[in-house]
Amino acid sequence: MNDTALEHKTIDFAICHECDVLMRLPDASVPSALRCPRCSSPVKGHGSGEIAKPLSAVAAGLIFFGPANFMPILHMSILGIESNHTMIGAVRVMAEGNMVPVALMVLFCSVLAPFLEFSLLGIVLAQVALGRNIWLLPNLFRFYTHLDSWAMLEVYMIGLLVSVIKLIGMASVTPGIGLVCFVGMMLASIAVKVTLDRHGVWRRIEAICNG
């Protein structure tokens, strides 16, 4: 039996990520979500590859991206000296303070990676929704899946909160519009992860490429 035949047979089965039970998938035309017969947990990888919800979250993330990175995150007042701090400004300060490796890491994980993540996924989902096979569509989605682990908005948010807590006793700290947008971008990223059916999108990409 060749590899193609084996591949078509293996997609008829799924493994529950909670209790590891192996189950046979129903017909692909069934739109309802599949639940494990043993533990009743939703089975990942079974679905229609819904596009609207993750695409909406991607659009929200891109809208929040600009203000989150270029508008003031915090307004600080220390001994009458006031200053505004932005995400890009923090990267520049670290670079000027001989912390270039740290600045580059923050720039990539908190700015470039989220932007590429939202942009690539937006392009892929839009083309899948339109049913168009653009150049390297599978590779774009594959690159997104690898890039997903490098976008660390939540980690940066925790570090920001720790810094604010430490500064409260020494300075007057006021959240800026950039912080609100940063939280919105982080929530949009979480919404993408929750609503995106990667296996379903892969099946739709395969159908487009083979069509």
Contact call for residues 70 and 89 (beta carbons, < 8 A):
no
The reported pTM is 0.73
Between 57 and 147, the higher pLDDT residue:
57
Q: Does residue 91 surpass a pLDDT of 70?
A: yes
Residue type, 132: R
Closest CA to 185 of 177, 197, 173: 177
Domain extents in the chain:
1-46, 48-210
Whole-number pLDDT of residue 84: 82
Whole-number pLDDT of residue 31: 43
Residue with tokens 């590779």, as numbered in its chain: 139
Contact call for residues 202 and 141 (beta carbons, < 8 A):
yes
Residue range 50-56: average pLDDT?
Answer: 89
Residue 114 in tokens: 């989220």
Q: What confidence tens digit (pLDDT) does each residue in 191-201 have?
A: 998 888 888 88
What percentage of the chain reaches a pLDDT higher than 90? 22
Q: Does residue 183 surpass a pLDDT of 50?
A: yes
Which range in 12-16, 26-30, 81-85, 96-100 is most confidently predicted, on average pLDDT? 96-100
